Structure 1
Amino acid sequence: MAIVWGVVCILAGILRLGFVTELLSKPSRYGYVNGIALTVLISQLPKLFGFSMESKALLPSLWTITNAIMQERSTGRARY
């Protein structure tokens, strides 16, 4: 799926379709990009602290990560 969207983005760049983004306001674009960044960051935190989780939703994951860190379940090293 990532490859497909990469190809779509390349084609949009070649066809100069960047003007379409001007139809959206800057705050909505910034909010969307920041939301994606937070989602990626929170999803990578368990790997950074070295523990596994079952939760896939964003807010329950954040709650689980916070509890695990407070209970010192972190191994202190990243797992690959």
Structure 2
Amino acid sequence: MNTLTDDIDAHALEAAWGELDRVARLRPIHDEDSYDHAVALMNRVLDVMGDNEQHPLAGLLELLATLVGNYEQKHYSLI
């Protein structure tokens, strides 16, 4: 039985994650420092993408927006 995880090259994933971590330090947001970093990274990605919704970084932007949005909803709720 072939599953999705069978198609993932764990060594290639580790190498790619290591490079992304070195460049972007993408992490879950647990505090103000990591929030500030994620917002700055998101803004930089937006600067690079411009109006191009098909840009190769579009998935990263969506991921960052989700992380930032979740943190803001939890910590900056206007109730």
> TM above 0.5, one fold?
no
Of structures 1 and 2, the larger Rg is shown by: 1
